[in-house]
């Protein structure tokens, strides 16, 4: 269970968007910025934040349209919009030479930011994502997100999430989902994230364009980089991971056993261990 005393809820406004974030304290330590995956919240990093806060000033951002951050008024959730948010957030908090960690959607945004502002990022951790993803995984996530929008209780969402990812202990999902759900005036429960993420299916041409754009950013990454793949992931293939590793000079690839796509939640201890090993190895 995450105690409220572990972190402080904070917010900043960037370009008219309120961005909520969790500050895990220890501001005298080097900064570490965490970017969650699509349809998640900053709390998806809770175990990891707790294990890193002794050595880093951990900041977990809730990206636009997620958690308690504002939904985009114009429905813009493009890479450019995210980049503007993250860049504005980093500047507002005066972060410099920080460790950047991103999972899935957050991993893509971390790639774009690191490729655009290479001097800002000290070290980069990309979790189970790359410019090329597997159709099976994309479809699996889309189906889960497009299921019933409203349910009678929070517990029904917990059971559904456990069915979607049985690797997670149900207690962990119950604790996690309290941050990702809200009760409506009619008494029913629904997700906090923007409805426009639901039923969002990319065309083959759109996927191809996104892939080409992301490869462009991957090639600009200068920071020492760790790519973490879940051994049972249906999103990032080993072939796709090896291609990313080959493209980023000196990139380290780690495969975490017993983990699917959401590695930090599926295997929190193993994930923290591979990240700590990488950070120790690349310490200046």
Query: 89-124, pLDDT tens digit by residue?
Result: 999 999 999 999 999 999 999 999 999 999 999 999
Considering Cα of 267, then 20, then 141, then 147, what sign does the dihedral take? positive
Per-residue pLDDT at 196: 82
CA distances from residue 158 to 82, 152, 174 in whole angstroms, order as listed: 29, 12, 6
Q: Cβ-count burial of 65 within 10 angstroms (0-12 exposed, 13-18 middle, 19+ buried)?
A: buried
96 touches 120 (CB < 8 A): yes
Contacts by 87-95, CB closer than 8 A, 24 or more apart: 87/113, 87/116, 87/117, 88/14, 88/15, 89/12, 89/14, 89/19, 89/21, 89/61, 90/33, 90/117, 90/120, 92/12, 92/14, 93/12, 93/31, 93/59, 95/31, 95/33, 95/59, 95/120
Across 163-184, average pLDDT = 89
Per-residue pLDDT at 68: 97
- Per-chain mean pLDDT for the chain: 93
Homologous superfamily of domain range 4-133+211-281: Alpha/Beta hydrolase fold, catalytic domain (3.40.50.1820)
How would residue 201 be classed by pLDDT, with cut points 50, 70 and 90? low
Cβ atoms within 10 Å of 281's Cβ, excluding its own: 11
- Using a pLDDT cut of 70, give the percent of the chain over it: 94
For the ranges 61-65, 125-129, 138-142, 254-258, which has the lowest average pLDDT?
138-142
Whether 147 shows a pLDDT value over 70: the answer reads: no
Across 194-215, average pLDDT = 82
In whole angstroms, give the CA distance from residue 205 to residue 225. 29
How would residue 129 be classed by pLDDT, with cut points 50, 70 and 90? very high
CA distances from residue 278 to 24, 99, 124, 269, 275 in whole angstroms, order as listed: 21, 11, 10, 14, 5
For the ranges 21-30, 167-176, 222-231, which has the lowest average pLDDT?
167-176
Per-residue pLDDT at 202: 73
Whether 3 shows a pLDDT value over 90: the answer reads: no
Whether 1 shows a pLDDT value over 60: the answer reads: no
Across 212-235, average pLDDT = 97
Whether 180 shows a pLDDT value over 80: the answer reads: yes
């Amino acid at each position: 269970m995450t105690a409220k005393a572990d972190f402080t809820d904070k917010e900043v406004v960037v370009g008219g968007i309120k961005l909520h974030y969790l500050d895990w304290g220890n501001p005298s330590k080097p900064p570490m910025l965490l970017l969650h995956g699509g349809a998640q919240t900053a709390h998806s990093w809770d175990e990891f934040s707790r294990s890193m806060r002794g050595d880093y000033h951990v900041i977990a951002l809730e990206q636009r349209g997620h958690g308690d951050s504002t939904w985009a008024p114009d429905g813009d959730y493009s890479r450019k919009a995210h980049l503007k948010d993250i860049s504005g957030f980093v500047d507002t908090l005066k972060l410099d030479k920080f460790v950047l960690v991103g999972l899935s959607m957050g991993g893509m945004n971390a790639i774009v930011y690191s490729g655009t502002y290479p001097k800002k990022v000290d070290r980069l951790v990309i979790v189970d994502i790359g410019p090329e993803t597997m159709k099976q995984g994309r479809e699996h996530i889309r189906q889960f997100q497009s299921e019933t929008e409203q349910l009678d209780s929070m517990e029904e969402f917990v059971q559904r999430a456990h069915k979607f990812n049985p690797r997670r202990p149900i207690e962990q999902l119950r604790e996690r989902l309290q941050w990702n759900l809200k009760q409506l005036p009619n008494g029913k429960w629904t997700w906090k994230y923007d409805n426009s993420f639901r039923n969002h299916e990319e065309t083959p041409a759109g996927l191809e364009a996104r892939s080409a754009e992301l490869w462009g950013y991957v090639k600009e990454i200068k920071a020492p980089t760790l790519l973490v793949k879940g051994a049972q992931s249906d999103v990032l293939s080993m072939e796709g991971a090896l291609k990313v590793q080959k493209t980023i000079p000196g990139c380290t690839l780690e495969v975490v056993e017993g983990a699917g796509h959401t590695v930090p939640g599926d295997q929190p201890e193993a994930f923290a261990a591979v990240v700590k090993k990488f950070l120790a190895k690349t310490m200046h």
